[in-house]
Amino acid sequence: MAHVVVTRPLVEGGLTELRKDHTVTVCDPPEGAARSEEELIALADGADVLLTVLADPVTERVFAACPDLKMVAQYAVGIDNIDLDAAQAHDVVVTHTPGVLTDATADMAWALLLAAARRVPAADDYVREGQFERWETTLLLGTELADKTMGIVGLGRIGAAVARRALGFGMNVVYHNRTRANPTVERQTSAQYVELEELLSTSDVVSLHCPLNEDSRHLIDAAALGRMKDEAILVNTARGAVVDEAALVEALSAGSIAGAALDVFEDEPDVHPGLMEQDRVVLAPHLGSATTETRTEMVHMCVESIRARLSGAEEIPHRAV
């Protein structure tokens, strides 16, 4: 029997299968937003498998202090909280949950974009606050999306799903990737490859879908924001640190972009106070994959990977390294 430590509760029922053959310890959520390395090491003591979320810092120190660890199963597609070089050095398999959260995250990007473009949060407040006394010709005017240009930064699975939805809304789509997408994806999304500078200066909506790494950290900085149109809306459902949040606040305050739709933040769960004050900004608490269907399937994927690893299979499904 192996010992699987799950760093916080998951959706009901998903771990039943695993419990038949292994000892599964599900930890309470941390008191604060994230666990420290020390707390994670204490939880992982003697564990064969750690099932982690983005807020768990799985660092070299954690690997070095947990010599029994055979696997880290990440309950997310993004794995920027895990030191992958250290995992390899310590011979620890890392898996994640790609694919299953594509549509949920693309829907969320669109939900936030539509909310920002049509001022849905302000409209909701207006009605609840009893301000709706008559229909008015200029009340809460928003922006249309049809015939506008959507610029996708990172045409991977989620970026492509956002692009397909953009076609349904009658938008033109351009994209930028480190490496150009294959012709099939370009055809399916009708997305035209452009350099980042061109994407920023021509798009009415810029939607971020790239992973966070040293190349993409603060990719959207003051200079990038300065290239965007005054009427543009920035959508971020990727990782907060892809955007320089302080620069974003300045750009919004100066009116050099029109709005932002943000599901992720540089220092989650803290949100830059300047964003809270902005009228044309829609904020969500990192809900990209938060549907019952997706979160349940994510548990199944983790369990599938864990069972394969613990049974000594050579092929581990959903392996990242």
Q: What is the nearest approach in angstroms of ligand DGY to the Cβ of residue 284?
A: 12
Asked if 51 and 5 count as a contact pair (C-beta separation under 8 A), the reply is yes
Q: What is the nearest approach in angstroms of ligand DGY to the Cβ of residue 65?
A: 25
Reply yes or no on whether 268 is catalytic: yes
**For residues 152 and 154, what is the distance between their CA atoms, to the nearest angstrom?**
6
Q: What is the nearest approach in angstroms of ligand DGY to the Cβ of residue 54?
A: 6
Residue among 96, 157, 165, 239 flagged as catalytic: 239
Please tell me whether residue 288 binds ligand DGY under the rule CB under 6 A.
Answer: yes
Please tell me whether residue 305 binds ligand DGY under the rule CB under 6 A.
Answer: no
Choice from 163, 289, 297, 302 touching ligand DGY (CB under 6 A):
289
The smaller minimum CB distance to ligand DGY, of residues 14 and 78, is found at 78
**Could you write out the DSSP letters of every residue in 11-23?**
STTTTHHHHHHSE
Q: What is the nearest approach in angstroms of ligand DGY to the Cβ of residue 235?
A: 14
Place of tokens 């933040």: 265
Please tell me whether residue 112 binds ligand DGY under the rule CB under 6 A.
Answer: no
Give CA separation, 213 vs 82, 199, 249, 304, in Å. 12, 20, 22, 27
Q: Where are the alpha helices (DSSP H) in the chain?
A: 16-21, 37-44, 60-65, 84-89, 102-117, 120-128, 157-168, 183-189, 196-202, 222-227, 245-254, 273-276, 292-310
Contacts (CB under 6 A) with ligand DGY, residues 40-99: 54, 76-78
**Could you write out the DSSP letters of every residue in 50-115?**
EEE-TTS-B-HHHHHH-TT--EEEESSS--TTB-HHHHHHTT-EEE--TTTTHHHHHHHHHHHHHH
Reply yes or no on whether 39 is catalytic: no
Asked if 249 and 278 count as a contact pair (C-beta separation under 8 A), the reply is yes
Residue among 60, 268, 272, 319 flagged as catalytic: 268
The smaller minimum CB distance to ligand DGY, of residues 234 and 258, is found at 234
The smaller minimum CB distance to ligand DGY, of residues 220 and 228, is found at 220
Q: What is the nearest approach in angstroms of ligand DGY to the Cβ of residue 77?
A: 4
**For residues 158 and 219, what is the distance between their CA atoms, to the nearest angstrom?**
18
The smaller minimum CB distance to ligand DGY, of residues 46 and 99, is found at 99
Reply yes or no on whether 38 is catalytic: no
Q: What is the nearest approach in angstroms of ligand DGY to the Cβ of residue 53?
A: 7
The smaller minimum CB distance to ligand DGY, of residues 82 and 252, is found at 82
Please give the structure tokens belonging to residue 256. Answer: 């050099």
Q: Cα angle at 312 between 307 and 318, to 5 degrees?
A: 50
Choice from 49, 62, 101, 301 touching ligand DGY (CB under 6 A):
101
Beta carbons within 10 angstroms of residue 109's beta carbon? 27
Please tell me whether residue 156 binds ligand DGY under the rule CB under 6 A.
Answer: no
Cβ contacts of residue 183 below 8 Å, gap of 6+? none
The smaller minimum CB distance to ligand DGY, of residues 53 and 275, is found at 53
Please tell me whether residue 240 binds ligand DGY under the rule CB under 6 A.
Answer: no
Active site residues: 239, 268, 286
Chain contacts with ligand DGY (rule: CB under 6 A): 54, 76-78, 101, 288-289
